[in-house]
Amino acid sequence: MNDASTQCLHDMFALHADAAPDAIAAVAGDRSITYGQLRERSRRLAAVLRAQHVGPDVVVGLHVPRSIDMLVGILGILEAGAAYLPLWVGHPAERLRFMLDHSGARVLVESDATRGGLPEFDGIRIPVDARPDAVPAEAGPRATPDHLAYVIYTSGTTGTPKGVAVPHRAAARIVRSGIYGTFDAGQTFLQSCPLSFDASVFEIFGCLANGGRLAILPDQRVSAELIVETVRHAGVTTLWLTPTLFNRIVDDGLLDGAGLHQVVVGGEVLSSAHVAHGLGSLGARIANGYGPTEAGVFTCCHQFAAADLAQSPPPVGRPLPGTEVHILDERLRPVPDGEQGELYIGGDALARGYHNRPDLTAAAFVPDPVGARPGARLYRSGDLARMLPGGLVQVLGRTDDQVKIRGNRVELGEVESALAELPEIRQAAVVDRTQGGDRVLAAYVVPAAGAPTVAELRRRLAARLPDYMIPSEYHRVEALPLTQHGKLDRAALRADTDAARLDLGSRYAAAGSELETVIAALWAELLEVPTVGIDDNYFDLGGTSASVPALNRRIHQELGARLSVTALYEYPTVRSLAESIASAGVRG
């Protein structure tokens, strides 16, 4: 294959569609589509988009659930020369409306499942299965590797999301085979990430740009159980996981003997112990995939050997071809190998910047002080790192208040802004902490008057923020702690686990049956709370999606009931869950 940096993502797919049109491109449940069919459907959509004057560097919204239609939408938008804007169906409508408005998107691709889901959009709506009215005219200008491929909005420090504008050249680096994995027609990839998470680019185009087969996870809440079921049923050989999911799967041996060839893990700091365990149990190569969205998904990758695991955390590897990394001090001077500095990224990996935000772009993408190329830039990652022997990069922490929750980037300032805008709250601070092996967010609020309830705060935040950005704990304090320099003392808040908790917003009612008593006791133990009423909401108590599998396992052990991965979302109180377990609908 030609050098990926000289090609667009959709053109790399087209090479395989032309060479093997009858090969299966993707499967979703009992549905499948060949490369030829996917190519034809995406070309039809591209023709309809071009008729609406869509072309290079035009941003087009894509509001389609995880499905084969989603692939048609992505490829159709790219084939038209445009950039796709992922509008993930699980995100609040207010957030999606902001993205459409801020990005300047005037065309929206939607499916039957989402049609009418964004009623305030007043632009042009195009069904993903649209056909041109007539024989398409000759195609207009085609995208080049320097044109935009996608714009993904990430959490913003100022309280509003920021759109990272990524060209084809940056994204195409990560799909080259033989660097940190084998990507070819013999591989079956799993597609489980929301499109709003840029690891989805690796899943989709690591597969389709190399002639592989894509197994699409059912459009449900992602869980270890659902991933394992799909991997085994579809014969997945190549898998991307967050460390949270990877650790759970390794600990429980869920994919031992599943036939995996390679696993790429990224999005959070890895555990050396879990990687070592996985190398011995999965029968697969394990690679790290490190990089911010601003640097084309992955900056550094590395296939682990046992010797790498003497370091904790394990190294993130070497930069991909066409990618530069520099570890610099506060005056932008290189630090000696082995010493800590801030990681700066350059080369083909770089995004253009933040879409329609030249101020943020200028602050984060700075002139290259160490390179020789005129006009070259570096992205200031905010990651603290050092260079290990052999040229391996080790990431050690952050210079700012950005954290990772279930692999998702969260700026604490955005969550704090959403809380502080509520009239019931005078001041708010948010920190991350470990809860039962998971990273969760804890909010500390100074009420303006009275005391808001957890249920009310969660409901209001859910209208603005994705679920992974909604705090799991809510504490009331008289004043936020400050350092001697007058700044918020987050370390003091992280250590203050005994601060008074806000009321849940439900009247306490004791268990009235043996089944309710067992469930309430399990919740109290898992969530480390003193009492649980039968009308208390599991998520208001501090439960998270990451803790749901552990609870389901305990319920199976204690009660013999097998719960679906969505049961706790449908029955989030002890009363409702007990009623459901007592019925035939949730027993295994």
Three-state secondary structure along 454-484?
HHHHHHHHHCCCCHHHCCCEEEECCCCCECC
Residue 463 exposed, middle or buried by CB count within 10 Å (0-12, 13-18, 19+): exposed
- Cα 570 from Cα 564, distance rounded (Å): 10
- Cα 440 from Cα 54, distance rounded (Å): 41
Task: Evaluate whether 73 touches 10 at the Cβ level (below 8 Å).
Answer: no
What is the SS3 assignment for 343?
strand
Q: What is the pLDDT of residue 370?
A: 85
Task: Evaluate whether 364 touches 379 at the Cβ level (below 8 Å).
Answer: yes
Between CA 242 and CA 252, with CA 246 as vertex, the angle to 5 degrees is: 155
- Cα 218 from Cα 62, distance rounded (Å): 18
Between CA 472 and CA 397, with CA 427 as vertex, the angle to 5 degrees is: 55
- Cα 309 from Cα 273, distance rounded (Å): 8
Task: Evaluate whether 297 touches 315 at the Cβ level (below 8 Å).
Answer: no
Backbone φ, ψ for residue 312 (5° rounding): -135, 120
CATH, domain range 514-586? 1.10.1200.10
Which position has the token pair 């069919």?
Answer: 37
Q: What is the pLDDT of residue 2?
A: 43
Q: What is the pLDDT of residue 310?
A: 87
Fold classification of 404-495 (topology level) = GMP Synthetase; Chain A, domain 3 (3.30.300)
Three-state secondary structure along 251-265?
HHCCCCCCCCCEEEE
Q: pLDDT 10s digit of each residue in the chain, 588 long?
A: 445 557 999 999 999 999 999 999 999 999 999 999 999 999 999 999 999 999 999 999 999 999 999 999 999 999 999 999 999 998 999 999 999 999 999 999 999 999 988 999 999 999 999 998 865 555 678 999 999 999 999 998 777 899 999 999 999 999 988 889 999 999 999 999 999 999 999 999 999 999 999 999 998 788 888 999 999 999 999 999 999 899 989 999 999 999 999 999 998 888 999 999 999 999 999 999 999 999 999 999 999 998 888 888 899 999 999 999 999 999 999 999 999 999 999 999 999 999 999 999 999 999 999 877 888 999 999 999 999 988 999 999 999 889 998 888 999 999 999 999 998 899 999 999 887 777 899 999 999 877 789 999 999 999 999 999 999 999 999 999 988 878 899 999 988 878 898 999 888 899 989 999 999 999 999 888 888 999 999 999 988 887 888 888 899 888 888 888 788 888 999 999 999 998 844 444
Q: What is the DSSP string of 359-407?
A: HHHHHHEEE-SS--STT-EEEEEEEEEEEPTTS-EEEEEESSSEEEETT
Picking from 551, 451, 568, 547, the residue whose alpha carbon sits closest to that of residue 501 is 451
Q: What is the DSSP string of 563-584?
A: PPTTHHHHS-BHHHHHHHHTSG
- Peptide bond preceding 313 in cis form (omega within 30 of 0): yes
Q: Which CATH class is domain 1-174?
A: alpha beta
Chain centre distance of CA 333: 33
**Tens-digit pLDDT profile for residues 183-217:** 999 999 999 999 999 999 999 999 999 999 999 99
Task: Evaluate whether 347 touches 320 at the Cβ level (below 8 Å).
Answer: no
Q: How many helices (H) and strands (E) does the chain have?
A: 17, 26
Picking from 342, 355, 470, 338, the residue whose alpha carbon sits closest to that of residue 412 is 470
Task: Evaluate whether 206 touches 174 at the Cβ level (below 8 Å).
Answer: yes
Q: Which two tokens stand for residue 117?
A: 């889901």
DSSP state of 428: E
Q: What is the pLDDT of residue 584?
A: 46
Task: Evaluate whether 282 touches 291 at the Cβ level (below 8 Å).
Answer: no
Beta strand ranges found along 2-147 (DSSP E): 24-28, 31-34, 59-63, 83-86, 107-110, 124-127
Q: What residues does each domain of the chain span?
A: 1-174, 404-495, 514-586
What is the SS3 assignment for 165?
strand
